[in-house]
Amino acid sequence: MNKKDWTILKVVHAEKNITKAADKLYMSQPTLTYRLQQIEREFNIKVFHRERRGIIFTDQGEILVKYAKDMLRQRQELEELIWNSGNEIRGTLRLSVSRTFAFYQLPQILRAFNEKFPQVEFNVNTGVNLDVLHSIYKQDAHIGIVRGEHSWTGKAITLTQENIAILSLEEFELEDLPNMRRISYKTDPKLEMVIDNWWKDNFSTLPINHMNVDNVEIAKRMVLNGLGYCIVPSISLEKNDKLEKIILKDITGSPIVWNTRLLYTEELLKLDMVQKFVEFIKDYHKQ
């Protein structure tokens, strides 16, 4: 087996579905199936069984997948060690990033970093905050960027502190909200809790939930078309948005703050590309 075979086993094991695995690997299904059959012949074992619910790996297949993951990890560590021994800052920087931050700010940051360090490549995975935390705990990512406060025993840097705002196409007063239609969206449970607690502190009735959408950007587009209001972190506000807004405040009258933090472990700073990225992003957000 080689690196490609290790990757195939890892992805098929994760997806439990040949079609999805082939799409993720940018391979045709017949090509992927043929390569899996070759692996089975090489070891004279059955790697998995196909069932209605998907793929079920055999005990021997599980052993092979564990080996493949170990080999990929060792190969990755070797590559990083080799890249780190040269005079250039190079390598593949693995980032796990909150989807909202990835949508609104990450592209500009990576472009600026790449202009300074053109030999660095990026492997970016986006997800909800729990996905990000899981990635950095498992060391699948060098660096994580999360929104809100989360338990983390390693190093953390606060990148931004945002307000949370109510957005509406039409001018409104705070006391109007219980009679207005809210557009809700899928977001971090901690942010939902912050918004729910603010609502309970200010109103005795439940909000009118008019619409539920997948993300904050869709919610904002609905607001721009006069379909209701939404409550969002200010990262989603852009200069060209012609929306009315009111900032959420706590019971003391202070604006409610929502943080974005960069998370990493001290030991990974031994990799030059990680150290340079941490230094770069700290300076970037001071500008």
* Domain 87-160+259-284 and domain 162-257 have a common topology: yes
SS3 at position 81 = helix
Of residues 120, 86, 100, the one with CA closest to residue 220: 100
Distance CA 123, CA 102 (A): 13
Q: How far apart are the first and last CA of the chain?
A: 49
Structural domain boundaries in the chain: 3-82, 87-160+259-284, 162-257
162-257: what fold?
D-Maltodextrin-Binding Protein; domain 2 (3.40.190)
Q: Which CATH architecture has domain 3-82?
A: Orthogonal Bundle (1.10)
Q: How many residues does the chain have?
A: 287
The percent of residues above 90 in pLDDT, for the chain, comes to 61
CA dist list (Å): 146 to 90, 156, 157, 214, 276? 25, 10, 10, 19, 19
Mean pLDDT over 146-166 rounds to 91
pLDDT 10s digits, 182-221:
999 998 888 999 999 999 999 999 999 889 999 899 999 9
What pTM was computed for the model?
0.74
More confident residue, 131 or 78: 131
- The amino acid sitting at 58 is T
pLDDT of the residue at 269: 87
State the alpha helices, DSSP H only, in the chain: 3-15, 18-25, 29-43, 59-84, 99-104, 106-116, 129-137, 189-202, 216-224, 272-284
CATH superfamily of 87-160+259-284: Periplasmic binding protein-like II (3.40.190.10)
